[in-house]
Amino acid sequence: MKAFLEVDIARRQQQLDLSEKRLWQNSAAWPSFRFLAVFCLVLIGSAPATAAQLIMFESSACSWCKKWDAEIAPIYTKTVEARIAPLRRVDLFDERPADLQGLKAVIYTPTFVLMDRSREIGRIVGYPGEDFFWALLEELMGKLAQDQERRHQSARDSGSASALCGDPGNSGARQNAKASC
């Protein structure tokens, strides 16, 4: 009788596990969880975190910049997003740094531009409030993860990126992979 109960309990537990798994996969949280899992995997295999940066174009006369400073700035440095894309501040009215000369015009402050390896991934124009800022930043981080995954996929297609990045050879495939390392 005891063995029968143990088998029955194990069978019911498996059924419960399957129904919980189906419920989880069909819930609204599943896409967010999947995004987070993919994003973490990309980060583990990606280039150093400093390759990406969030550039904040600001002005000392900008009241929305001050509001961002009060609501987000104290928190941002402690977030995962800051480890992925550290904040870099640029005054809109100062001469633009040489590495940012190729960016499209910035008219409004604050404007947040997510850059990765000197390429613009996307931007947030203005400060729409704390909740909207985090949601928009999450969307940009998703684009960054997709961009990095595409770059790593093309490196894998042309050869092993991890092996090629450290290889001093000069073949065409190695040069292509080195460009994405």
User: What CATH number should be reported for the domain holding residue 102?
Assistant: 3.40.30.10
State yes or no: cis peptide before 110, omega within 30 of 0: yes
Does some domain include residue 21? no
Does some domain include residue 128? yes
Does some domain include residue 158? no
User: What's the confidence (pLDDT) of residue 52?
Assistant: 93
What distance in Å separates the CA atoms of residue 19 and residue 68, rounded to the nearest whole number?
44
User: What's the confidence (pLDDT) of residue 22?
Assistant: 54
Number of domains comprising the chain:
1
Q: Give 99's DSSP letter.
A: G
Does some domain include residue 106? yes
User: What's the confidence (pLDDT) of residue 70?
Assistant: 96
pTM for this one? 0.61
Does some domain include residue 174? no
User: What's the confidence (pLDDT) of residue 2?
Assistant: 55
Does some domain include residue 14? no
Give the residue ranges of the chain where pLDDT is below 70: 1-50, 159-181
User: What's the confidence (pLDDT) of residue 51?
Assistant: 82
HSE-up (13 A, CA, CB side) for residue 139: 11
User: What's the confidence (pLDDT) of residue 8?
Assistant: 58
User: What's the confidence (pLDDT) of residue 158?
Assistant: 75
User: What's the confidence (pLDDT) of residue 151?
Assistant: 83
Domain residues for the domain of 71 are 49-144
User: What are φ and ψ of residue 96, in 5° steps?
Assistant: -70, 135
Burial track 83-101 (b if 16+ CB lie within 10 A, e otherwise): ebbeeeebebeeeeeeebe
